[in-house]
Each structure stands twice: as structure tokens, then as C-alpha cells.
Amino acid sequence: MKVKLYATLRPLIGGQNSVEVEAGPGDTINDALDEILEKWPVLRDELLQNGEISPRIHIFLNGREVRYTGGLDMIIPPDADLRIFPPVGGGR
């Protein structure tokens, strides 16, 4: 399964725009995050706070933020689209 990461998270994973994880249908969002953090531990402080999704981070599963639709225990459905966004600011 491909997980897309955006903005300031990309430099932490070598400039890639996505990472490949084995977690997929039947696994949870937490399983996918565990795999990502195992491969890129530098992301831990960016993504998590006290074992939960940092309030600054937005994780979307099929276009819906997981914080409001079941959290890290949500089951990943087939053909899932998982995206992780850090806080973004700027502009005028």
C-alpha cells in the first residue's frame, strides 16, 4: 500500500512523496503507522504525541480525516488511499 506524505514530512523520508507499506486490507491505520515509524523513526516526533496522532497532523483515509471517523484503530479497506499532512502555513 502506498501512503502519501506532504510538505515538511517529505524531506524526512528522503524527499519522496510517498512510502510503501505492507499494511493493507484488514490491518489498521495504527499498523500502517507502526510500519512507517519502524522504517523512518525520525517521523515519530512529527506524527505522534503521547501515543496519539499529534493535533497538528492530519491523516486522511479515502478523503476523510481519521481523527473524526474512528482514529488509529480503523480498519484499512481494500484500495485505500492514505495521506498524511503536516501543518501548513504561509501566504499573505
Number of domains in the chain: 1
The per-residue pLDDT for range 37-91, each reduced to its tens digit, is 999 999 999 998 887 889 999 999 999 999 899 888 999 998 899 999 998 765 5
CATH number of the domain where residue 48 is located: 3.10.20.30
Is there a domain that residue 88 lies in?
no
What's the confidence (pLDDT) of residue 19? Answer: 94
Alpha-carbon distances, residue 26 vs 31, 42, 49, 80 (angstroms): 10, 27, 25, 11
What's the confidence (pLDDT) of residue 91? Answer: 58
Q: What amino acid occupies position 81?
A: D
Is there a domain that residue 90 lies in?
no
Whole-angstrom Cα distance, residue 90 to residue 78? 36
Average pLDDT over residues 12-25: 90
Average pLDDT over residues 9-34: 91
Q: Residue 62 contacts by C-beta under 8 Å, 6 or more apart in sequence?
A: 77, 80, 81
Looking at 1-92, list the stretches that DSSP marks H as alpha helix, in order from N- to C-terminal side: 29-39, 44-47
Is there a domain that residue 68 lies in?
yes
Q: Domain range spanning residue 14?
A: 2-82
Is there a domain that residue 30 lies in?
yes
Is there a domain that residue 87 lies in?
no
Is there a domain that residue 70 lies in?
yes
